[in-house]
Chain A
């Protein structure tokens, strides 16, 4: 299958949209009609052909445009890509994992030829054709994490493991839901999660950390997380809050279907072999409310989830200003019929 890459923007005129054929493969994050935190981690096995869970690193029609947006963010603010000095080996692990996976899963788009440590990498969609020495950063134009991070959709944090904890010691983060690598760099698992409400009391982070510390090589895991974003903007960083914060004032009952986007993160967890670090890809999918409700099951369920969402979460996810309008608007798509289990459309 050849993917038609779209020419679109995530800022300014916001021309981003999903093709009709791309809508059903959206990773809708609600398996039930109500939402509460859980440590909803499952093995990142290949699942359901055509879904975003089919391949290790999903490539879709937004790939090229997302990489252009990342380049714009990095040009503006190089601090979005940082690696502490001991994270170079982990950068190479990350590069290897992405190249090997993409060349295997998308042979018509990516090609990797290895002759010992001499590697030849071809990325057709981004027109890259490079030869370098694996493990020798002087043979790349930049840090291995940045090199590959500019060629893979989603933000990527790399967590060093030591002292029974995980440490946010490297990352390339340009499409984040309101968190800052520059603020979090060097923090441990509990420190960077400190602002999350409710979950600490539920013991979610203790359990998640225990799980991650023993994550085995070759057995990646995944979970979905979600929020809402006004306009299809990838870069909703604290650094740029003045640019996107006021967007929330612009939501009206008339424009809510096109303005408000369900923002889903497909988070995966990978043990890296040489560094013993954990790679944490946070792949963001955006879908306008008008696109979500084309799937009747999703329209019904999203109404129920939003209507019953706990106030702490409405506040934490930054939805307070337009939450009532949204629930009202979604109610027209909920006829009260039961919904089938699981996230996939009927």
Chain B
């Protein structure tokens, strides 16, 4: 059983070029039905049928959780990635039918918060757009600090500033602007929760600054970008199925297992939720653990792997599948 077994048929209702590297895709249910309600920070998995290859990528929902006639996601084009974003940018057109999963939230607002402090970097803005709509409706104070490389890449910056006014502060690297985390995190009322979504370095800086200032860990929330990395092709033996499979360079191990027809649990497909955790029967080589689920000890033991994002290099990998 996995979330992506229960897909919702949708039609692409709109494709908008937000800037040279980001496009927004809007989906409606093929029957015109309402789509499932969700909470800010949730993502969906989009299934892409790309010339015989089935890819499933997670994208944060950016539409308002209170609008159920359509969903919206934004996709940043990554030409060095596995091809999912390239497919979305080049192949997906209005009127096309696709399949998406029901929403899953691994980056929810803590509803106990007296104030939500949101820090976004680049395309990491998308979950916050839905969360701001939610916080606004619930009447809970919030503040967004949004950093982008350049004015031309700062998707939705102007519209968010127009819509939420003083709640939004913007920073563009090419203008020499940056978030002063020390000052920002030193001056928050009790009961504030901080959320960060953006590049790895930014997440680390926010978590470190908050920790050194004495923020309780339970008040610091982050979401890493969810994208399986590319790598060298490798072979895997599936012990229960008794078969050998090859994982392509631009394919995840999870996708290769699915393509072989072997059952496997999964949900987020981004190394965060833990559903696809798989027992390693034998490993002669190195597992590239790219997940956020296993701890250091588990990684070193080489007895578990998260097939959605992790890869292998070496002589033999055998999994309990």
Hey, which bits of chain A sit against chain B, CB under 8 A? 43, 84-87, 89, 93, 160-163, 210, 213-214, 216-219, 273-276
Contacts and interface: CB of A to CB of B under 8 A. Distances in A.
Contacts of B217: 163
B71 to A, nearest CB: 13
A86 B101 CA distance: 28
B235 interface: no
Nearest to B219: A163
B84 interface: no
B85 interface: no
A274 B105 CA distance: 10
Nearest to A86: B111
Interface residues of B, number: 26
A219 B37 contact: no
Given A217-B102, A218-B6, A273 B1 contact: no
A217 B274 CA distance: 17
Contacts of A273: 36-39, 103
B108 A218 contact: no
A275 B112 CA distance: 11
A216 B108 contact: no
Contacts of B110: 162
B98 interface: no
A213 B273 CA distance: 8
A219 B6 contact: yes
A208 B27 CA distance: 34
The 8 A-B residue pairs with the shortest CB-CB distance, nearest first, are A273-B37, A86-B111, A216-B3, A276-B108, A217-B102, A86-B112, A276-B105, A276-B39
A274 B37 contact: yes
Contacts of A89: 111, 138
Given A89-B138, A214-B273, A217-B104, A274 B267 contact: no
A85 to B, nearest CB: 8
B301 interface: no
B36 A217 contact: yes
Given A214-B275, A273-B36, 11 more contacts: A86-B111, A87-B111, A162-B108, A163-B218, A213-B273, A217-B38, A217-B104, A218-B102, A219-B1, A273-B39, A276-B108
Contacts of A210: 274
Nearest to B273: A214
A274 B6 contact: no
A160 B111 contact: yes
Given A163-B218, A273-B39, A275-B39, A217 B111 contact: no
Contacts of B218: 162-163
A274 B102 contact: no
Query: Chain B interface mostly helix, strand, loop or mixed?
Result: loop
Nearest to B65: A274
A161 B138 CA distance: 18
B39 A274 contact: yes
Interface string B26-39: 00000000001111
A214 B37 CA distance: 17
Nearest to A84: B112
Contacts of B112: 84-86
Nearest to B265: A214
A162 B65 CA distance: 19
Contact of B111 (A43, A163, A275): A275
B274 A216 contact: no
17 contacts: A93-B37, A161-B108, A162-B110, A210-B274, A214-B267, A214-B268, A214-B273, A214-B274, A216-B3, A216-B104, A217-B104, A219-B3, A273-B37, A273-B103, A274-B65, A275-B111, A276-B105
Contacts of A219: 1, 3, 6, 102
Contacts of B36: 217-218, 273
Contacts of A217: 36, 38, 102-104
A167 B106 CA distance: 16
Contacts of A274: 37-39, 65
A93 B36 CA distance: 12
A43 B39 contact: no
Contacts of A161: 108
Contacts of A214: 104, 267-268, 273-275
A87 B104 CA distance: 19
A86 B218 CA distance: 16
B111 A216 contact: no
Contacts of B39: 273-276
B194 to A, nearest CB: 14
A187 B144 CA distance: 31
Contact of A216 (B37, B65, B138, B267): B267
Contacts of B275: 214
Contact of B1 (A43, A85, A87, A275): A43
Contacts of B108: 161-162, 276
Contacts of B138: 89
A61 B248 CA distance: 58
A204 to B, nearest CB: 17
